[in-house]
Structure 1
């Protein structure tokens, strides 16, 4: 619309005919967001007419008028309409429209104006009506209602006491205002919106509300617990009473002064419980000082848990009181640690500007991760986290000295369950996961994180430790395998094939009459004794009963078709031939073959000259063949013999065992290292070999 038409437009806006006013204000709303047009409109007295339309019209005329004022304020013009003696009436009229008018197009415009203002509600049911609009099917109305609430919260929280004391009650009013909104169902309504399919239409006000929630948590955490403040004293007293103190100590003070009272002649005088606060899990009898880290937020969480779970709280304290002092779970300290864990999990120190900027810059596929509706379920998460703390404490048999270890486990649990929860995951499922998470899996995660931290911060030091531990584990497994040989084992002897009987039928039948073979390593580990038997006796034969023996120094190689791979790799099995002197090969046969198909053959040279050939291709002959009854026995004997010959083990079972022992050794060492060392990297000079100057032979290194 041309600026030259403004006088005619104003004339129609001031007309007594509703149809003329409606058409004029309809055209006005589409042009007034042009600053040059708006400037002429305001200078021509347009604000007076627009105010009159808002105060005295209804229906579409009113809706277009509200929209016109909204667009005027969006270009930062027209604020004069809220000045002067009649400004209050205009604000009251806009608030009244929100409370009394059900039409969506009017509500949308009225709320947009209050978002820009924001205004003080003069109707008792104002907030209730605004929060109800969060359930509206009209996403624009829903967004405006949430933006209005955001503006009111930001305005209330940002009002700080000033130096002259005129706002000294402001810090006490905003918590009451927030609680009023919560009691009206604000949190539940926004939580549902965050999980709904309307996320994109409401993204900005929802992110702003999420950021405001973080700001509120920061303010509560930074608010120092002060027993001079009545609400803080009441909170501590409520906590004390919820713990079901004995009747003799119901008159205990809330300032932590639990020293016995001086003798009194007054009948019925009582003494204070000397462990009034320590029995609740505080470290001292001055509880206010222990909220230093978590602030009033920590007190809110602890008192909220005690109030909502009073029976469980009392039962827990009673149970802990029967335990030795060093084994008691410090309930209050545990609650404060869960509060801090949640605070860190949701990045509450992160500013609201960063959240909003992250939404604007992030890819559409990743924007969903910015919304964290579980933040709005803080109280329930704190309760579930605290119950998980108690579960871990009991399951691990922890004591007072293990407190920080349990805190770290809970932190990992929160990160795994809450941190990985998607936007649409319901809080009930999250609570179940926290309370039922597999403890063995949690320990694995802890070790993985510790190992990653060491990898990052210790680098070459950890690599060297791993190499040392692998050598240690290899020596350990070698000893285990050799002990199996020292213990001795039964082996089968396959029946000879008919075509192989040949002329020496009598010898073949004699061999077939002894289907069992028993082998055992001598105590000095120099000879392998064996003998064949017709029956497998219940008692193993003694070394003296084994009539045959082989000098291990005569064995040049060990050849086998024992499986050297895992069961899930059998489809890729391959076969390899025997090797030359002092080498060993494993022909990878199927592990599920019959007991006679798996064999271990030991070879030796036919003469000393053959053994000394420089080319290493001397002629060998079989010295002994063993047929293990199962894969486990085959692995023990094949790798045991190879290790005795100072050769590397082959089978998957042995390799797995070596790896397992090495990993457990590393984990045991990691568990004995403080978390600050794990994440802080090596200290200056770490790894430097100390000087031996001034030392004699009487010294040792402590590992």
Structure 2
């Protein structure tokens, strides 16, 4: 066991004239002062003044050790008596000018501890609270900063250092200064300080750290500093939102004036008695000065109640950064009918609230107290392994995101032919969905430029599709168990419906070319197949041509007893729709065009689709093509082969035959239609509509892939009252 450290010997070593002894004592102190009992003994032994002297007078590694020792004491909330102007000035000087990383790291840590020290209060004789006289926060280091006006600039530059600990210390000091500015800087000082940091490109530096590989080490000091900066950013946004707009304040009045002047308003003079305008009589405000910008009234201050000063900042920032677009958009809106104009100002404030909700600003951890916030950060570091969800670098690009989302809102308004005020909230909801899908899906390393590009290119159709997908998710969450039961019932009903539809196709009958692609001229080339009315027999007959119309059932002497059919084999499900364009037509209509032998060869060569009906033939039957033998059963043979010439006809006949045999359909066409009916049925039930209300003619055309064309919009005759409305199935 090592002997306990000799406090007296170490203190004597600090003032030794021998450099090696002094350096060794300082080096040992750096680790020993982390123990509270040793720290108390060190202070009782009058070691503070020698340590202060070492901080001020040594250099190189010895000075780094001395700073580290003082940091260890201050972290235990001891030794504050020696932290005076000289020590603070030395720390600021070293942080700005010294080239050695280990010295700068410890100097920055010392400044973080000073700025972050809680302001202590004492009670006077009357019992009222007063400041204790101890200097902390930004005020403690401000006199030293007056000698180094480039201190903040050098601090931000440290964020790009290759040493991650140095980056973490620099960011921790930035966080401490921001926190102190918000807590103690007053309502008008902290915005100026934050603006200065932003001008020094602190956002870019922290964003680079967020996207870097070093941030993936969630247990490092750098990760904690990044998350603290992210939380402080949320705090700032929340405070800006809580600041009420007041035109009595010069800054707020200038911001409103900026919004107006950047719109390039035309000169306005009221009309005279003859109805003509003149510039005489002085300059007058336009009666729609603010409404032309998209406000609801000519007193726009109340419209910032929800967004506060944050909404005004976003609108001013947009107008400044996009002055030409801002003016052009207002000019385009001015020539539109009043109800079709997009309210720009309201749309901007709406986007501000959408981003505010998306990033969960009000859900941010409590960052008023450093200790509480650091504990919250540590909990998230310990419990969340998904770095992409933990860091939100796009939050730091608030202004660019607002501009991109605002432009997307204007574009969606234009393409949807929206009208104000009826459609404003609909477009607002679409923008919310777009932000959720594009901004929410961005990873930690996604550049903001890519997000802006996606917001520029998103279409109304895409936004509507996302909206319907989100609606499905909401319904699933709210009505999950009930929807499962509804869908199960609809699945059975839809399957029964498709069974009847497919069998009706068989009852109607169809022409099929035979397999005789090499049939000599004049040979049998066509076969007509039709299901009997009692659905027990499959009648067919071979013909030389298919231009004889649709033969009657009595003209089809050949027949197959469906009770003897054991299976239906086909390559339909694996084949591609060879003639997809023609596949939308019925098989009979398509095949009637192929009246020549050459056309038959071309049609047969264009497809390899085949349906094979297999079963046990009647002993009197002519079928003898045996494909397998089972000693325990009668011999199976090919009863009939069909060669559908369209993908849709193949789906009708294959699934129709399978459903007749009480088997499940297998083609994509049939399963797609069943799923479509289940989906529409669920929506109709949720809307409490009736099946007979659906435009089944348009639905049938849609199912067959045909273009329904421009349909006449119905009038309002027969509708009851202003609440009456007409609805139809959507086209997509």
TM-score between both structures, scaled by the size of structure 2? 0.70
Distance 1:265 1:390 in 2: 35
Which residue of structure 2 lines up, in the alignment, with residue 247 of structure 1? 267
Which residue of structure 2 lines up, in the alignment, with residue 695 of structure 1? none
Which residue of structure 2 lines up, in the alignment, with residue 515 of structure 1? 525
Which residue of structure 1 lines up, in the alignment, with residue 295 of structure 2? 282
Instruction: Tell me which of 611, 617, 623 is aligned to 1:598.
Output: 611
Which residue of structure 2 lines up, in the alignment, with residue 111 of structure 1? 108
Distance 1:325 1:646 in 2: 64
Which residue of structure 2 lines up, in the alignment, with residue 216 of structure 1? 236
Alpha-carbon deviation of 1:212? 1.1
Distance 1:16 1:597, change over 3 A: closer
Distance 1:359 1:314 in 2: 45
> Is 1:567 aligned to residue 574 of structure 2?
yes
Alpha-carbon deviation of 1:666? 3.9
Instruction: Tell me which of 330, 341, 358 is aligned to 2:354.
Output: 341
Q: In terms of mean alpha carbon deviation, does 70-79 or 334-343 score higher?
A: 334-343
Which residue of structure 2 lines up, in the alignment, with residue 54 of structure 1? 55
Distance 2:231 2:444 in 1: 16
> Is 1:308 aligned to residue 309 of structure 2?
no
Which residue of structure 2 lines up, in the alignment, with residue 676 of structure 1? none
Distance 1:447 1:310, change over 3 A: same
Q: In terms of mean alpha carbon deviation, does 394-403 or 331-340 score higher?
A: 394-403
For residues 657-696 of structure 1, the aligned pairs below 5 Å read 657-667=673-683
Please state whether the residue corresponding to 2:441 is helix, strand or coil.
coil
> Is 1:324 aligned to residue 337 of structure 2?
yes
> Is 1:150 aligned to residue 170 of structure 2?
no
Distance 2:614 2:214 in 1: 73
Which deviations, in whole Å up to 9, do the C-alpha atoms of 1:579-602 show, x marking residues without a partner?
A: xxxxxxxxxxxx999679436799
Checking the alignment, whether the CA contact within 8 Å between 2:567 and 2:613 is kept in structure 1 is: yes
Checking the alignment, whether the CA contact within 8 Å between 2:387 and 2:444 is kept in structure 1 is: no
Distance 2:328 2:435 in 1: 25
Consecutive unaligned residues in structure 1, runs of 5 or more: 161-169, 252-262, 499-508, 571-590, 607-621, 674-701
Which residue of structure 1 lines up, in the alignment, with residue 383 of structure 2? 362
Which deviations, in whole Å up to 9, do the C-alpha atoms of 1:614-646 show, x marking residues without a partner?
A: xxxxxxxx9999653334213335656898x89
Distance 2:617 2:641 in 1: 12
> Is 1:41 aligned to residue 42 of structure 2?
yes
Checking the alignment, whether the CA contact within 8 Å between 1:355 and 1:370 is kept in structure 2 is: no
Checking the alignment, whether the CA contact within 8 Å between 1:529 and 1:547 is kept in structure 2 is: no
Distance 1:412 1:314 in 2: 27
In angstroms, what is the RMSD of aligned CA positions? 4.7
Work out the number of aligned pairs and report it.
603
> Is 1:456 aligned to residue 477 of structure 2?
yes
Alpha-carbon deviation of 1:296? 1.8
Please state whether the residue corresponding to 2:511 is helix, strand or coil.
strand
Please state whether the residue corresponding to 2:451 is helix, strand or coil.
helix
Distance 2:247 2:205 in 1: 35
Consecutive unaligned residues in structure 2, runs of 5 or more: 116-140, 271-275, 368-372, 578-603, 620-637, 690-725, 728-732
For residues 370-449 of structure 1, the aligned pairs below 5 Å read 370-400=390-420, 401-437=422-458, 442-449=463-470
Checking the alignment, whether the CA contact within 8 Å between 1:327 and 1:399 is kept in structure 2 is: yes
Checking the alignment, whether the CA contact within 8 Å between 2:11 and 2:47 is kept in structure 1 is: yes
Checking the alignment, whether the CA contact within 8 Å between 2:568 and 2:654 is kept in structure 1 is: no
Please state whether the residue corresponding to 2:77 is helix, strand or coil.
coil
Distance 1:208 1:12, change over 3 A: same
For residues 637-648 of structure 1, the aligned pairs below 5 Å read 637=653
Which residue of structure 1 lines up, in the alignment, with residue 190 of structure 2? 174
Checking the alignment, whether the CA contact within 8 Å between 2:495 and 2:674 is kept in structure 1 is: yes
Distance 1:196 1:651, change over 3 A: closer
Distance 2:31 2:333 in 1: 71
Distance 1:481 1:73, change over 3 A: same
Which residue of structure 2 lines up, in the alignment, with residue 163 of structure 1? none
Instruction: Tell me which of 210, 213, 219 is aligned to 1:194.
Output: 210
Distance 1:453 1:92 in 2: 60
Distance 2:105 2:448 in 1: 32
Which deviations, in whole Å up to 9, do the C-alpha atoms of 1:210-241 show, x marking residues without a partner?
A: 11111111111222222222212211221122
Which deviations, in whole Å up to 9, do the C-alpha atoms of 1:463-496 show, x marking residues without a partner?
A: 4554675577568757866886798753324549
> Is 1:94 aligned to residue 91 of structure 2?
yes
Distance 1:625 1:89 in 2: 102
Distance 2:278 2:344 in 1: 37
Q: In terms of mean alpha carbon deviation, does 58-67 or 441-450 score higher?
A: 441-450
Alpha-carbon deviation of 1:341? 2.5
Checking the alignment, whether the CA contact within 8 Å between 1:601 and 1:626 is kept in structure 2 is: no
Which residue of structure 1 lines up, in the alignment, with residue 665 of structure 2? 650
Distance 1:656 1:178 in 2: 57
Which deviations, in whole Å up to 9, do the C-alpha atoms of 1:626-674 show, x marking residues without a partner?
A: 653334213335656898x89787352223212123324545777999x
Alpha-carbon deviation of 1:40? 2.9
TM-score between both structures, scaled by the size of structure 1? 0.72
Which residue of structure 2 lines up, in the alignment, with residue 78 of structure 1? 79
Which residue of structure 2 lines up, in the alignment, with residue 126 of structure 1? 151
Alpha-carbon deviation of 1:157? 0.8
Instruction: Tell me which of 148, 154, 161 is aligned to 1:136.
Output: 161
Distance 1:632 1:190 in 2: 59
Checking the alignment, whether the CA contact within 8 Å between 1:529 and 1:548 is kept in structure 2 is: no
Checking the alignment, whether the CA contact within 8 Å between 1:389 and 1:407 is kept in structure 2 is: yes
Which residue of structure 2 lines up, in the alignment, with residue 628 of structure 1? 644
Distance 1:63 1:431 in 2: 46
